Structure 1
Amino acid sequence: MVDTSRVSVARTDRMRRGPTLLGMAGSQFTLAALATTAVPGLVLTGTRTLGSVAGGDYESAVVRDADGRSSAIRRPRNQRAEARQSADLVAIRALSAGIRTRLPFAVPEYRGQAPIGSTRAILTSYVEGAHPALRDLTDRPELATSVGRAVAALHVLPTSFVTDAGLPSLTPFEVLRSAVSVMDRAVATKLVPDALQERWEGAARDQQLWQFTPTVVHGSLGLDSILVQGDDVTGVLGWGELRLGDPAKDLAWVLAGRREAFDTVLSAYTAGGGGRDRQLGQRARVHHELETAQWLLHGVQVKSTEVVDDAVAMMHRLAEAVHAPSAAPLQAVSPETMEIGEVEQLLSSTERRHS
């Protein structure tokens, strides 16, 4: 399998070059002072930096109060981070105490906010744990099992709390429309190998592939949002894409690693109550492969030759990999297919309804 795990990491790193909101990064003590503003009467006994001091989208710190509780406070360094933080705040406030009791991991809890310049600092509970590496899922099957169970627990949550909070709710057709849009825009650059274009178009025509029941999904699950201690998933961060959508999207990132790790995760996911549609694995692979197309489109958008060249190289390696005898198919075994014209007609009719 072609390793696309660095795509989202590299994309995030490059996107951090947005317009700066704060002229100069403050110290952890400035953030501590903001924490006491966010929660009047809060008495702090310690503070330390969280993450990189010099880089990153956020300036963050961990503060400890007199009751022994640890909190994380962060303020965005650019407008993109501010928008992401706002979306994350809406999502974690939608995750009520009752919903959280159904999850086998911790989710940050909102504790307060404080204005700073043209933005605001947000104080949440601090979730313990470290981000895993892809190889850990292969080397430690118990961890892969914990990941599968954690994702399943999320996907079986009642959907009503998402709709009640006014969060996005995507139908299977809207998920397909989004995937086809990425395919079409990538193909329009004339940089997508023919083998991949044919493979993706075949997946788009497969009606069975896109027949699924939307579930609660994290929406941007990956190594940078999962926290583990030992072989257990202890927390999940980055909830700004919380919605009803395709459960396969939350499993796609695992495919950047070895196949046996994905099989272990999927088996635990199914045992945990998830994976009720037989095409889940194939659809996860579609989402995974389209990461390269999205990386290409990002490079084109920001006019970065380096990113475009990297994306093209990755797509050519992917094209070689999918020709291997052991390559997993994207389509169902006996798919009911739509012609390309039918797909385009359906997409255009949906676009008219939403315009």
Structure 2
Amino acid sequence: MARSHLTLAALATSAVAGADIVGSRPLSSSTTHRFDSAVVTLRSGEEYAVRVPVNSDAESEQSRDLVALRALTAGVRTRLPFHIPDQLGQAPIGQTRAVVYDYIQGRPATLADVGGEGSASDSIGRAIAAIHSLPTSVVSDAGLPSHTASQIALSSRKLSDRAAASGRVPKELLTRWSLALEDSALWQFQPTVVNGSLGPESFLVIDDQVMGVLGWQELKVGDPALDLFWLNSAARSESADRVFAAYEHALARPADRQLRKRARLYAELEIARWLLHGIDSRDEGIIADAEGMLDALRTTVQNDLLNPLSTDTGQIMAVEDVEAMLDRTPLPGRSATSVGAESKAHANRIAED
């Protein structure tokens, strides 16, 4: 049973010394099924947000978020054109804890906020660019993960291979992903600081401005495309174009030319990740949902052959040609022998599907 906002207000009183709370209200968000949340009002007029995780996964997420927030020091935050929550206190409740933060004004954005004039697109693009412009020492000094381009490519390959092994992914998609994953030009990028879990709801907006960014539990050094792949869900490509344009304009350095292709690849691989989650949890509903999305994606890809994921826009290759190419083209950091064996098995799985 969800905890009431009155219960959460009492916890905030325990968590923050001297907090003179005079009111409270529920705080709704896209994560309410994993957190009980409320906003409390102090006599001074200040407002705090209170969150209590409702399961172990949410508790782990909250713990990682707190580590990241500590890494984002006051000096780091002066580099960002938006607010990040400050942790103000904690109070135990049962086997978990309530965490109190300062409350950032604004509503969670939706894909409808990604559009043309008068939308938050420009502000969202600038916000993401500011994150990616932070020095990587912010992450490394805090002991948070740092990944190289070759490590990121290898991780994506493993995800694709696992999905292929399920026998549930259309061969057209496996071929498409293989070409992208083995295209060395696609993976020549400089890793940056990334939030790692951005979506439209991560941005708190008022009118057309981003006021705050929430959810820092995946903070790391990684592929900047990870923070942009959600834009592939925008209703119109022109809407995403505006965010990318603002992002590239605000960067302190030129954006790599393959950024959008990798973002698209990550968006497609998210469906594979959802499929594997269903398989691992033996949830037939999730599996069926993922298979439906993969089938729809196959149709979309077949109808849009002018937008491949790989940088080579030549003739579409047959499965046998893919197998031969993969045997010849190892990923950085992997031996030709190991890649050849894995690629042959992968191509065989494509053929079997």
1:288-346 per-position Cα deviation (integer Å, ceiling 9, x unaligned): 111111111111112122211111111111111112246522112479x9943424981
In 2, the alpha carbon distance for the partners of 1:43 and 1:141 equals: 39
In 1, the alpha carbon distance for the partners of 2:305 and 2:179 equals: 19
In 2, the alpha carbon distance for the partners of 1:173 and 1:345 equals: 7
In the alignment, which of 111, 115, 119 is matched to residue 88 of structure 2? 111
Mark the CA change 1:326 to 1:184 in structure 2 (over 3 Å): closer, same or farther. closer
Q: Counterpart of 2:201 in 1: which secondary structure?
A: coil
Normalised TM-score (structure 2): 0.86
Question: Partner amino acid for 1:126?
Answer: Y
Mark the CA change 1:315 to 1:53 in structure 2 (over 3 Å): closer, same or farther. closer
Q: Does the alignment pair 1:268 with 2:246?
A: yes
Residue aligning to 1:12: none
Greater C-alpha Rg: 2
Root mean square deviation, CA, Å: 2.4
Residue aligning to 1:11: none
Residue aligning to 1:241: 218
1:84-131 per-position Cα deviation (integer Å, ceiling 9, x unaligned): 000001111111111111111111111111111111110111111112
Question: Partner amino acid for 2:147?
Answer: L
Residue aligning to 2:267: 288
| Bigger RCO (CA 8 Å, 6+ sep) | 1
1:220-278 per-position Cα deviation (integer Å, ceiling 9, x unaligned): 00022111111111111110000100000100001111211111111111000165211
Normalised TM-score (structure 1): 0.86
Structure 2, gaps ≥5 residues long: 315-321, 340-353
Residue aligning to 1:50: 27
In the alignment, which of 333, 340, 343 is matched to residue 326 of structure 2? 340
Question: Partner amino acid for 2:74?
Answer: A
In 2, the alpha carbon distance for the partners of 1:275 and 1:294 equals: 31
In 2, the alpha carbon distance for the partners of 1:152 and 1:314 equals: 30
Structure 1, gaps ≥5 residues long: 1-23, 351-355
1:166-225 per-position Cα deviation (integer Å, ceiling 9, x unaligned): 111011111111111110111111111111000000001111111111101000000221
1:118-158 per-position Cα deviation (integer Å, ceiling 9, x unaligned): 11110111111112221331355642111111100110011
In 1, the alpha carbon distance for the partners of 2:67 and 2:271 equals: 29
Q: Does the alignment pair 1:25 with 2:6?
A: no
Question: Partner amino acid for 2:104?
Answer: V
In the alignment, which of 274, 278, 291 is matched to residue 312 of structure 1? 291
Residue aligning to 2:348: none
Asked whether the 8 Å contact 2:115–2:121 carries over to 1, the reply is yes
Q: Counterpart of 2:58 in 1: which secondary structure?
A: helix
Equivalences, count: 326
Between the aligned residues of both structures, percent identity stands at 46
Asked whether the 8 Å contact 1:293–1:311 carries over to 2, the reply is yes
Q: Does the alignment pair 1:88 with 2:88?
A: no
